[in-house]
Chains A and B, each alone.
Chain A
Amino acid sequence: QTVVTQEPSFSVSPGGTVTLTCGLSSGSVSTAYYPSWYQQTPGQAPRTLLYSTNTRSSGVPDRFSGSILGNKAALTITGAQADDESDYYCVLYMGSGISVFGGGTKLTVL
């Protein structure tokens, strides 16, 4: 059973930079997994941030960026703002129709 790993929580100061990662319990994440990232605030539906590793969804500010760092996918927020305080989820496409969500990272901006 493949597990997609994310940091359970992270904190960043307003204006700071933070990098959240998305890994595999076994193996390395590459662009072939088409990593995508979603933001969710409590009680709301998810919002699509990035897809295919580093392509921003429509309307997403350019302070959100994606990459592969080492053996993980990464979401970097540059110049964090108070309303970036949310849960962030990555998704990896495993092939054969199967997608797997990471456990999510709760980001605190303080």
Chain B
Amino acid sequence: EVQLLESGGGLVQPGGSLRLSCAASGFTFSSYAMSWVRQAPGKGLEWVSVISSAGDTYYADSVKGRFTMSRDNSKNTLYLQMSSLRAEDTAVYYCAKRKTLPGSTVAGYFDYWGQGTLVTVSS
């Protein structure tokens, strides 16, 4: 059974930093692309970033230059390092497994989701 367990959320001041983790199990983690998706309170879902199985990363414009996504295949863990945080980064952050299409490293869809971790940016 695929399981994704996010951790690391909490309250942080504007301008601060936070690192989220996503522990994966139930599949061969190193073989799959992974994504972060967030949802601000009362708002819709927003794609944040994706990392291919090879470690190539892509980001939404809203977080580019501030967030860094990485993976440790030896620990089956995904990370999102967030810096220069703003109030508008307040959201539940979901880790999602990416099912890629044949011939692509990141094109595809999200097939499994974690339960999310809440990040609150406030003074």
Contacts and interface: CB of A to CB of B under 8 A. Distances in A.
B101 A52 contact: yes
Interface stretch (A10-18, A20-28, A69-77, A91-99): A91-99
Interface of B: 35, 37, 44-47, 50, 56-58, 60-61, 94, 99, 101, 106-116
Contacts of B112: 48
B82 to A, nearest CB: 19
B91 to A, nearest CB: 13
A47 B79 CA distance: 22
A43 B58 CA distance: 28
A54 interface: no
Contacts of B46: 101
B116 A36 contact: no
Interface in A82-109: 87, 89, 91, 93, 95-104
Given A45-B113, A45-B116, A51 B44 contact: no
A34 B108 contact: yes
Interface of A: 1, 34, 36, 38, 40, 45-48, 51-52, 57, 87, 89, 91, 93, 95-104
Contacts of A91: 47, 109-110
A19 to B, nearest CB: 20
A96 B49 CA distance: 12
Nearest to A103: B44
B48 to A, nearest CB: 10
Contacts of B60: 98
Contacts of B94: 45-46
Contact of A51 (B50, B56, B57, B109): B109
Nearest to A37: B109
A57 B111 CA distance: 8
Contacts of A93: 107-108
A57 B101 CA distance: 14
B45 A45 contact: no
B50 A99 contact: yes
Contact of A101 (B47, B58, B106): B47
